[in-house]
Structure 1
Amino acid sequence: MSLANGRAYLAIPGPSVMPDAVLQAMHRPSPNIYEGELHDLTYSLFPDLKSIAGTAHNVAIYIGNGHAAWEAALANVLNRGDTVLVLATGRFCVGWGEMATGLGVNVQTIDYGDKDSVDLDQLATTLRADTDHKIKAVLAVHVDTSTSVKNDVPGMRHVLDMVEHPALLMVDCIASFGCDRFEMDAWGVDVMVTACQKGLMTPAGISFVYFNEKANAARGDCVTGYWDWRPRINPEVYYMNFYGTAPTHHLYGLRAALDMILAEGIEAVWARHATLAQAVWAAFDVWSVPGGIGLNIADPEHRSHAVTSCFAESPEGDRLRNWCEHQAGLTLGIGLGRTPADAYFRIGHMGHVNAHMIMGVLGTIEAGLKALDIPHGDGALSAAATVIAKATRGGA
């Protein structure tokens, strides 16, 4: 017997749950790509994308996943033979650095492991030692989806300014955008990359590169016609927004998703994600006992509000994840890039999520712990409910 029949819940850290409004907006015939409604809708997206990112600068849309945005960002600002500094706090910043290597860029990496955030003092020491300013860009991940660590992006800008280093600050916000607070201009970020399938609640397939005038002036020789962001932000004709046919149905879905975010208000969206993440952490604080499960990131200040990386004794992480999916209809994320992989799993709490969904995730995990005889403390659901009750006390 299985209790998984019924509507499944995809609680992986992207693609995230898609709202009915997004799906309905996309359920339509192909539009005229040459004039009319699609053009108006497309140009309505840019100011709202900028507003959510907290920038008055530029954003280009690419048809591709987050890796496409990585390459576009690198190609537009770097020359072959340039050096970048990669601040690795998990699999994804390492991957961005590997892509830079493939473009003929020299990569210098500081690896902080899988459980720690960027050490700003070490960053300052490294940048001070670069007296010839060979480092052209610092690559960092705001939230690494594999580890769920959240890095101090404003702190990185402070370090760059303090040591008077001219390197571009380039930040991956693929996991965090629309979930964890991010303010591009106020935080001094030169280039930011993100994608549509997480906090933006749209099916995977489009990504975004944000950049300021300093980054735009750093034109490198890695860029080719398709990746060049300059025609995309000043298109002579509509198709240059995408260097070809528009991702038509994604644009309709994205418009609906942005409308939902703006109606709620970005501050309220960030607050909702913070409360739901804290509910998850409260449950794990109670569950965590020797030989049981626990949180990957010890310091709450460095935990993401979008994704939580968890561990158990090997192979209990995989056993619990498989039980949740096949016995209860809840899909959790795999231990991506972790060793041993069967000890780790991840919970996505990003985008279109609310209190009853998160309580359902936690209740299902607790049922799995009991069914599999994995050691755990009692009272986790009560602890999570208390977080939610406290955040909403007095609300109608």
Structure 2
Amino acid sequence: MAQNSSRPVGRHHLHIPGPTPVPDRILRAMDTPIIDHRGPEFAKLAKRCLDGVKTIFKTTNPVIIYTATGTGAWEAALVNTLSPGDKVLVYETGQFSNLWKAMAEKLGLKPEVMASDWRTGADPAKIEARLAEDKNKEIKAVCVLHNETSTGCLSPVNEIRKAIDKANHPALLLVDTISSLASTDYRHDEWGVDVTVGGAQKGLMLPPGMSFNAISDKALAANKTAKLPKAFLAWDEMLNMNKVGFFPYTPATQMLQGLAVAIDMLHEEGLDNVFARHNRLAEATRRAVKAWGFDIICKDPKYYSPTITSVLTPEGVDADAFRALALSNFNVSYGASFGRFAGKMFRIGHLGDINDGDMLGGLAVTEMALTLANIPHKKGGVQAAMDYIASAHAKPSRAAAE
């Protein structure tokens, strides 16, 4: 009998910038009997997660866990701190910053957009200058994506906080870390962030369906006077129930089982080691892309993302057709293109539970797909990545020998 040639063999090369591959250990943790979400066993699990996730955000303040994707946490950050007609400053770094802006409009806020070419992160100096102009303090919040998922540009959140302070402005700082949390250094408390938005399906290595708000004392104070409508997303009810290990509605029990293990795994590796691994894989990917002769959407190295590399394809090349060819022939998925770069780029994700071999395998099939698609490129991208990774691993041993 002939084999079914339509069955993909082996594991899928998932190199989208999230959702990321879910480790077997987390899958096993979620593959357990449902427990009573009002019983003592659940309370222990909830407290383990609520306390543990603070260490990922690097905060001692509450972190609220929602049964929703990151979009829900976006909305929660806005409705729990702001009132109808409030002006918010949104720095446009790409497609997802624009989506957050569009949500603000739908909620009855007045977003002011700081436009960019989508090829850098947010500029603290420009934010400082705009806030300094706001003599009447009409701007109530500054919304920034730590890592713009559509372009692969990382914004300097710590410097943005300093810029707000230099302008002597009371605006809240709201930061989206959906594609950076648990993948690159982030410090909610130390950097003075008021609301940090996070998602479970990327650096935290979980399936989609869970998101977070880490909140400062200043955000909690703003919550007392915020007048935007809220019910499911309201902080006050969540905080009251969380104190005793429960939720005001039926929570995603199995996601919490997975979250507890994900937090354990991150600390077993060590957060600094997690960040170093992501930086290594990101640099290896960029070296491959440059060796192929392609441009990276993020044009300034100081804004390079540790989790996503957006690749600009040559003039006349349909990036989405290339993605389809690569999937069909090599079972690899890349991130889609958006907005002003629609059809002109593809995004390589290098985040979550992936190692050097996983990344090199993904880059190897990329180079083969470029050849199959007859896209003009130079050879040797994978070799450049291999050389870099080998040298990165050799450095610690050399230092020890010295």
- TM-score norm. by structure 1 comes to 0.94
Q: 2:239 maps to which residue? A: 233
CA contact (8 A) 2:46 2:245 kept: no
1:155-166 matches, within 5 Å, as 155-166=159-170
Q: 1:384 maps to which residue? A: 385
Question: Distance between the aligned counterparts of 1:103 and 1:272, measured in 2?
Answer: 39
Q: 1:123 maps to which residue? A: 127
Could you give the per-residue CA deviations for residues 122-149 of structure 1, whole angstroms, max 9, x where no partner exists?
A: 2122111100000000000000101111
Question: Distance between the aligned counterparts of 2:7 and 2:328, measured in 1?
Answer: 8
Question: Distance between the aligned counterparts of 1:263 and 1:143, measured in 2?
Answer: 25
1:294-313 matches, within 5 Å, as 294-313=295-314
Q: CA deviation at 1:60?
A: 0.4
**More off after superposition, 51-60 vs 220-229:** 220-229
**More off after superposition, 12-21 vs 231-240:** 231-240
Secondary structure at the counterpart of residue 190 of structure 2: helix
Q: 2:322 maps to which residue? A: 320
Question: Distance between the aligned counterparts of 1:236 and 1:145, measured in 2?
Answer: 31
Secondary structure at the counterpart of residue 14 of structure 2: strand
Between the two proteins, the alignment pairs up a number of residues equal to: 390
CA contact (8 A) 1:275 1:388 kept: yes
Paired letter, 1:231: E
Q: 2:216 maps to which residue? A: 212
- Is 1:203 aligned to residue 226 of structure 2? no
Q: CA deviation at 1:223?
A: 4.0
Q: CA deviation at 1:186?
A: 1.4
Q: 2:92 maps to which residue? A: 88
Paired letter, 1:391: A
Give the unaligned 5+ runs of structure 2.
Answer: none
Question: Distance between the aligned counterparts of 2:333 and 2:256, measured in 1?
Answer: 27
**More off after superposition, 303-312 vs 202-211:** 303-312
1:1-396 matches, within 5 Å, as 4-219=8-223, 220-235=226-241, 241=247, 243-288=248-293, 293-313=294-314, 314-335=316-337, 337-393=338-394
Question: Distance between the aligned counterparts of 1:323 and 1:274, measured in 2?
Answer: 28
Q: CA deviation at 1:100?
A: 1.3
Question: Distance between the aligned counterparts of 2:279 and 2:178, measured in 1?
Answer: 17
CA contact (8 A) 1:338 1:344 kept: no
Q: CA deviation at 1:4?
A: 4.8
Could you give the per-residue CA deviations for residues 17-56 of structure 1, whole angstroms, max 9, x where no partner exists?
A: 1000111111122112221322201111122211111111
Question: Distance between the aligned counterparts of 1:350 and 1:47, measured in 2?
Answer: 24
**More off after superposition, 277-286 vs 31-40:** 31-40
CA contact (8 A) 1:3 1:327 kept: no
**More off after superposition, 264-273 vs 341-350:** 341-350
Question: Distance between the aligned counterparts of 1:82 and 1:150, measured in 2?
Answer: 27
Question: Distance between the aligned counterparts of 1:373 and 1:2, measured in 2?
Answer: 24
Q: CA deviation at 1:231?
A: 2.3
- TM-score norm. by structure 2 comes to 0.93
Secondary structure at the counterpart of residue 334 of structure 1: coil
Q: CA deviation at 1:239?
A: 8.0
Give the unaligned 5+ runs of structure 1.
Answer: none
Q: 1:157 to 1:248 in 2, by over 3 A?
A: same
CA contact (8 A) 2:30 2:254 kept: yes
